[in-house]
Each structure stands twice: as C-alpha cells, then as structure tokens.
Amino acid sequence: MDVVVCVKQVPDTEQPIRVRADGSGIDEQGLNWILNYYDEHAVEEALRVRERHGGTVTVVCVGPPRATEALRTALAMGADEAVHVWDPALEGADHLGVSRVLAEVVRRMPHDLVLCGRLATDDNASVVGAALAEYLGLAQATAIAKLEIGDGVATVEREVEGGVEVLRVPLPAVFTVERTINEPRYPTLPGIMKAKRKEIRTLSLQDLGLDPAQVGAAAARVRYARFDPPPRREAGRVVTPESPEEGARLIAQFLQDTAKVL
Amino acid sequence: MPGPDSYRDLREGVRKLCARFPESYWRELDEREEYPEAFVRAMTEAGYLAALIPPEYGGAGLGVAEASVILEEVHRSGGNAAACHAQMYVMGAILRHGTPEQKQRYLPPIARGELRLQAFAVTEPEAGSDTPSIRTTAVRRGDRYVISGQKVWISRVQHSDLMLLLARTTPADQTRRRGEGLSLFLVDLRANLGKTVHVRPIRTMINHHTAEVFLEDLEVPLEDRIGEEGQGFRCILDGMNVERILIAAECVGDGDYFVDRAVAYAKERRVFGRPIGQNQGVQFPLAQAYARVRAADLMRFRAAELYDAGLPCGPEANMAKLLAAEASWEAANAALQTFGGYGFAREYPIERKFRETRLYQVAPVSTNLVLAYLAHNVLGLPRSY
Ligand SMILES: Cc1cc2nc3c(=O)[nH]c(=O)nc-3n(C[C@H](O)[C@H](O)[C@H](O)COP(=O)(O)OP(=O)(O)OC[C@H]3O[C@@H](n4cnc5c(N)ncnc54)[C@H](O)[C@@H]3O)c2cc1C
C-alpha cells in the first residue's frame, strides 16, 4: 500500500490571530505555524495502514519555504518521504490551483491511497481533497471516521446526521479524514532526529511541467476581497434578581424578547 | 550560541507528549503522592531519556543542550521531570569512567529503558553538604566489596533497578587529599532490596519519591566498581556539571511556566474595573522575573555549549544552576502574588509548582555551596571550609 498524504501548514489557532489593518490578510508576524490538525490525523491513518499492510507513506505539501516544517512534523511521526512544492507563481493561487498541483505530484508517484484532512483550520474550505479526487479521476469519500483496507477496495464510514454511512470504495481513492478517525501519535526522539536529517526536495511548477498561468495566481477563480476581524463581543448584561423565581423570569424574558430564540 | 529556533522540532515533540499529561494529571498524582509512572513510561518509550547515550549504545547521542531543552519543556508544560531526569544523566558515570565491558553490559538496556538507573546515593545524614566526609564504607573481600552505612534523600530508589553509590574505600586519615579514598559502585537493587539494602521513604512537601537507604553488608562484585578505587569523587564531579545544567533548564522551564500563567491571569482578572495586569505593581514583578529567567537561560546555554564542546564549564554550570533556581523562585513568587488568593487554591495551577520549584535552591546542591565554589575556585578567595 503506497499512501500519499497531502498536508498544509496553518497558523496555530491556539494563539490569537490578528487581521492586518488594511484588511489584505492576516498579520503573519510572530505567528506559530503548525501542521494542520486534520492532516495530522491523515498522517496517523496512513502510518496505521502502512503498519498493517506494508508499503510507504509520502507526505506532500504546497506552500512557501516555511511549510517544510510541517513536512518535518509528519516525517518525525514516521512518514517515509516528503515532497515540497513551491513556486513564486503560486502566491495567491486558489484551492483549485493547489489541487491541480497536488494532482500532478500524486500522478507521478505510486499511490494506492491518497489521504487529506477534512479541512484546513486556517480557511475551513474543505475543497482541496474533493477537487484533487476530481483532477485525478479517482473515487472519493469525504470526512471519513473509519477506514478499512480490503482487496482492491476500502470500506469507510462517515458520520451522518443520526447514523453512520458505510461506503465501499474501489482503490486507488482519495479520502478526507475526520478528527474522530484516530488519535495521532506524538513523535519519538529518534523520529525527530531522522526527520531533521532527511532531505526535502522542493519542486517548482516547471519541474512538474505545469503552466503558472493555469494553476498560479493568474488562474485563480477566487480572490479574497477583504478580511475583517470578528466583531468585538459586547459586555454581557448583568441582572441582580431578588429571588430565583425573578431570575428565571428575567432570563426567560431576555430569551423571548431580546434574543428572540423562544 | 544557538538561535531561538534551533530546537523547534525537539520542543514541538516534547510538547506534544506533555500535552497528554495535563496539569490535572500532575495535580491528582500530587494529592495521592504517586509516582508518575505513565508519564515516565511515555518519556522512556519516546526515547527522550536516552538523549545523552551515544548511538553505539542505542541512544540518541545528543548534547547536554538538547537534553536540557527536553527537560525544560516538561517543566514549562506544568509537569515535573524530577521523576525521571536522573535516568538521563546518572549513566554518565558509566559512560565516562566505565570499562568497555561495563558500557556494553549496562548502557544498551538503560537506553531501551529496560534497566532504570536513576538513583544516585551520595548524601549522608552526618556529612550533609560535606561529601568527602561520608562514612558509608566499602571493604574489599576477594572478588567483591562489602558495603555498610546509611544514605539519606536518595530519590527514586524505589523506582530504580540500579543505584550508583559513593562509599569510602580508604579511611580519610590515610589519604593524601580530601576527596580521595572514595569509590563509586553500581548496586543491583533488584537483587538486594529488602535483604542488604533497606529503604525508608521520606514524605516531603512535594511529590518527590525520596528515601533513607540503609546498607548492611551489601555485597557488590568487583566488576561493578565504576572507575578506579579511591577516585570515586572525581568520577562524580564531571557528571555534576551535566546535572547542574539540566536542573538549570528545569528551572528555566518553571520560570517560563509561572510567567506564562501569571501574565494570562493578569490580563483576564478584572478588579477595580480593569485587568489587574494594567497596574504597574502587578506588571513589574512579572517583567523582572521574566528578565531574570531569560538571563539564566543564556547562562544555561553558555554552560551547555562549553560542555558539548568538551571545554571546562564548572563555573558556568554552577552559575546557571544558581541563577536559574533563583529566577524560577522569583517567578513563582510573582505568580503567586498575581493570582492573589487563588494562588493558594489546590485547583489552580500555581501552588503545586510553587512548592516544587523551591527545591532547586537546596538540592541537588544548595545555593551557599555554589557561592562557596565560585568564591574559592573562580575568585580565588580563601577557603571557608
Ligand atoms: C527532595 C530531595 C531530593 C534529594 N535527592 C538526592 C539524591 O537523589 N541523592 C543524594 O545523594 N542527595 C539527594 N538530596 C540531598 C541534597 O543533595 C542535600 O540535601 C543537599 O546537598 C544539602 O545537604 P543537607 O540537606 O545535609 O544540608 P546541610 O549540609 O546540613 O546544609 C544546611 C544549610 O547550611 C548551609 N551550609 C552548610 N555548610 C555551609 C558552609 N560551609 N557555608 C555556607 N553555608 C553552608 C547549606 O547551604 C544549607 O543551606 C536530596 C534532597 C532533597 C531535599
């Protein structure tokens, strides 16, 4: 089983994120960049597939030079190889552009299974995995919570409203994973050291035979108009009822008249 | 000197492991005075405790700088590495002074974590800080030594398979110099505990598993003496620099822990209609503590850099430990004050660490003894003892 995992480097959401004053994007100064949590689960699932069925795990990332750190995190967990793609023309590429680049990388390597996170915690778009499957012409299932590999087919489970959907999908296929699928391992010291020594190749669009005009910023069908910070939360209203009954009445009144949820 | 990000991967890895052991884990253990077995197992299995063991014996072969970053991160997360840090460095005596056979026999299982060598028995009730005056005696009988005496404050002895032991082999009045006539032994606790080695736990103000140890005609085979007979004190001295640097790093981790928590609380807690952190009376002690922690951090890396380059680092290692232990205590105090009454509450994060970080001004060496070392050996002042 040769598994390819597509990963993204995102800002650590445990830190405060600030929008630039001119609304052109987020302020990257001092941000801590990490491997997208959902992708960490995808890497973990790939490693489990390798443990059960043999084969290799290759992680692929499209992103600026700092994104290699996310690849090292995946290598430290135990991935075999890492491929980094960057090209100045990709600055401003949209999700479909990135998906086309990933499709080209995946096409060039053995792949029985392609895994992605269900979404990236920076823009929550959930587009790349699905688009990648389309560009590769492979079967897909999104947001899977369980994966079992059989002979040429995978059985996957999706959590749907009120139940579980079980799908049988021919391989090779593309799956995006839900965070409930597993608990990712933390790296070991030997893993961290091996990852540090590993050479990470960076491929340009030219290396992949791709035309910047088709996948880069120039081809983007989506452009960000403006970023706004979330509205400031107003201070809550404090009421000091005389009795529990009055308190209950005030709350009910608030829910009915002000919040209009009752 | 390494840049701020030189250890990014290592820090991230240790943080991920520590995230599985949140403060509630440590708080509950503290209440029950239990050994953090699950945490120690995780640290062992992830290979962190074998950081300093060379690759040919199955370790990671890293320097003291990296090892110190590992322990620092444990402390910064709110944990306490005292339960297992000695597994990292007590083996140094075998590594630096053992025979090839001893290294081959002991280091690989220590690296794998199958053998725990994390008890180091030096302190005695009568001798205290004056190590050369210890009285535990080892007498050579044929192919073995027979050892009797008493040790105190021997940490982790109940969670260790092997114990490194310092004992007198030549009476003090028959040696040329103070500090000679002591020898170092590797004691197999598994075979001797409850027979010739008796342990009485000492309860302390922190969850630190330490004990009195009584030795009665303990037999140690000749091949388990580490280093030459009579040179035991010298054999432990070079290991002490490593210990000082690692302890300094734990203090830096504690210091950052206190500053992190106190700053977050000071921003959030509102009294008199504003965050308490808006008052300079709250800000300044935290800024001061932060500056002291950073300064100690630099001295820690300076000492580690010298040690890892094979250069003498006694003064720097001692100063790192001195400054870092003071900085972490100052930060603890500032944090406690910032938390006000809640600083005393068991379910708030500060009070446990407050108790724990106080230890480092007393053990493994007390502040006065570090100052005396600097006064005598660096400043050339007359010896006071
Ligand atoms: C929790 C804990 C764990 C420990 N773990 C270990 C362990 O694993 N192995 C081990 O061998 N030991 C261990 N120790 C012992 C520790 O190293 C000693 O407590 C420490 O070295 C001080 O010795 P003492 O307690 O006998 O104090 P003393 O030597 O009695 O000193 C008491 C005070 O007097 C001061 N003082 C003494 N002489 C002088 C002087 N000449 N000038 C100025 N001031 C002086 C000291 O600085 C100290 O403040 C541990 C101690 C504790 C508390």
Would you say the CB of residue B363 lies under 6 angstroms from ligand 1? yes
Instruction: Tell me the chain B residues in contact with residue A189 when contact means C-beta distances shorter than 8 Å.
Output: 10, 13, 46-48, 50-51, 60, 62, 70
A5 to A45, A46, A97, A105, A209: CA distances (angstroms)? 9, 7, 18, 11, 21
pLDDT for the residue B4? 54
Q: How far is the CA of B245 from the centre of ligand 1 (A)?
A: 18
Which CATH number is A76's domain given? 3.40.50.620
Nearest residue, CB atoms, B13 vs list A34, A69, A186: A186
Same domain, B243 and B367: yes
Residue contact B9–A72, C-beta within 8 A: yes
For residues B304 and B373, what is the distance between their CA atoms, to the nearest angstrom? 19
ipTM: 0.92
Q: Looking at residue A16, what is its pLDDT?
A: 87
Instruction: Report the C-alpha gap between B153 and B186 in whole angstroms.
Output: 18
Q: Which of B117, B120, B123, B381 to mutate to test the pocket of ligand 1 (most atoms within 8 A of CB)?
A: B123
The 10s digit of each residue's pLDDT in A195-245 is 999 999 899 999 999 999 999 999 999 988 999 988 888 777 788 888 999
Closest CA of chain B from A25, distance in Å: 25
B227 DSSP assignment: S
Residues B238 and B370 grouped into a single domain: yes
The total number of structural domains in chain B stands at: 3
- Structural domain ending residue among the three candidates B79, B112, B145: B112
Q: Are residues A73 and A184 in the same domain?
A: yes
CA–CA separation, B290 and B162 (whole Å): 39
User: Which residues in chain B are closer than 8 Å to A188, comparing Cβ atoms?
Assistant: 13, 45-47
Instruction: Please check whether residues B354 and B261 belong to one and the same domain.
Output: yes
Q: What is the pLDDT of residue B3?
A: 55
CATH code at B63? 1.10.540.10
Asked if A66 contacts A50 with a C-beta cutoff of 8 angstroms, the reply is no
The answer to whether the CB of B231 is under 6 A from ligand 1 is no
3-state helix, strand, coil in chain B (%, to 5): 55, 15, 30
Tell me which residues of chain B have a pLDDT lower than 50: 1
Show the domain range for B98: 8-112
Angle at A12 (CA atoms; ends B296, A41), nearest 5 degrees: 120
The pLDDT assigned to A238 comes to 81
d(CA B88, CA B182): 24
Whether B60 has its CB under 8 Å from any CB of chain A: the answer is yes
Confidence label for A69 from pLDDT (cuts 50, 70 and 90) = very high
Domain match, A78 and A187 both: yes
Tokens of A240: 């000091």
Domain end position, chosen among B48, B79, B112: B112
Atom of ligand 1 nearest to the CA of B384: 41
Strand, helix or coil at A61? strand
| Judgement on whether residues A155 and A57 belong to the same structural domain of the protein | yes
| B280 and B222 both lie in a single domain | no
* pLDDT at site A232: 83
Query: How large is the C-alpha radius of gyration of chain A?
Result: 22
Report whether residue B133 contacts ligand 1, using a CB cutoff of 6 Å. no
Query: Which domain range does residue A236 map to?
Result: 231-262
Same domain, A153 and A237: no
The average confidence (pLDDT) of chain A is: 95
pLDDT reading at A179 higher than 60: yes
**Domain at B347, CATH number:** 1.20.140.10
A87 vs A199: CA distance, rounded Å: 18
Asked if residue A168 and residue A105 are part of one domain, the reply reads: yes
- Which residue from A72, A186, A195 is facing B16, i.e. has the nearest CB? A186
**Shared-domain flag, residues A111 and A235:** no
Note whether residue A226 is domain-resident: no
b/e map B298-321, b = 16+ CB within 10 Å: ebbbbbbbbbbeeeebbbbbbbbb
Rounded-to-integer distance, Cα B363 and Cα B365, Å: 4
Query: Among residues B211, B198, B208, which one has the least CA distance to residue B154?
Result: B211
Ligand 1 proximity of B362 Cβ (cutoff 6 Å): yes
Work out how many domains chain A is built from and give that number: 2
Query: Ramachandran region of residue A84, left (φ > 0), alpha (ψ -120 to 50) or beta?
Result: beta
Lowest-confidence region among A53-57, A253-257, B336-340: A253-257
Answer yes or no: do A26 and A76 share one domain.
yes
| B13 touches A at CB < 8 Å | yes
Angle between helices B280-308 and B314-339 (to 10 degrees): 160
Task: Tell me whether residue A17 is in a domain.
Answer: yes
Per residue in B3-25, is it b (16+ CB within 10 Å) or e — as a string?
A: eeeebebbbbbbebbbeebebeb
Which amino acid is residue B44, in one-letter code? Answer: T
Give contacts of A76 with chain B, Cβ < 8 Å.
Answer: 9, 13
Strand-pairing partners, residue A162, are none
User: Residues A43, A93: one domain?
Assistant: yes
Alpha-carbon distances, residue B92 vs B69, B100, B246, B255, B374 (angstroms): 18, 14, 13, 27, 24
Give residue B86's identity as a one-letter amino acid code: A
Which residue's C-alpha comes closest to atom 53 of ligand 1?
A: B363
**Residue B384, domain member (yes or no):** no
Where residue B222 sits, what CATH number does that domain have? 2.40.110.10
Rounded Cα gap, residues A86 and A167, in angstroms = 35
Q: What is the pLDDT of residue B2?
A: 52
* Residues A171 and A41 placed together within one structural domain of the fold: yes
- Tell me the CB-side half-sphere exposure of residue B165, using CA atoms within 13 A: 34
Minimal-distance CA residue of chain A relative to B13: A187
CA distance B13 to chain A (A): 6
When pLDDT is cut at 50, 70 and 90, the band that residue A14 belongs to is: confident
B199, B229, B259 - which closes a domain: B229
Which residue, among B45, B51, B130, has the nearest Cα to B366 in the 3D structure? Answer: B130
**Residues in CB range of B336: below 8 A, 6 or more apart:** B343, B344, B350, B351, B354
- CB pair distance less than 8 Å for B51 and A189: yes
| Chain pair A-B, CB pairs under 8 angstroms | 41
Q: Are residues A251 and A171 in the same domain?
A: no
Rounded distance from Cα B368 to ligand 1 centre (Å): 10
Judged by CB atoms closer than 8 Å, whether chains meet at A189 and B9 is answered as: no
Closest by Cα among A98, A85, A129, A61 to A221: A98
DSSP run (H or E) holding A207: none
In this prediction, residue A239 carries a pLDDT of 83
Q: What is the Cα–Cα distance from B26 to B207, expressed in whole angstroms?
A: 9
| DSSP state for residue B124 in the 8-state scheme | -
Pocket of ligand 1 contains residue B366 by CB under 6 Å: yes
Do residues B72 and B86 both lie within one domain?
Answer: yes
The reply to whether residue B48 touches residue A193, judged by beta carbons under 8 angstroms, is: no
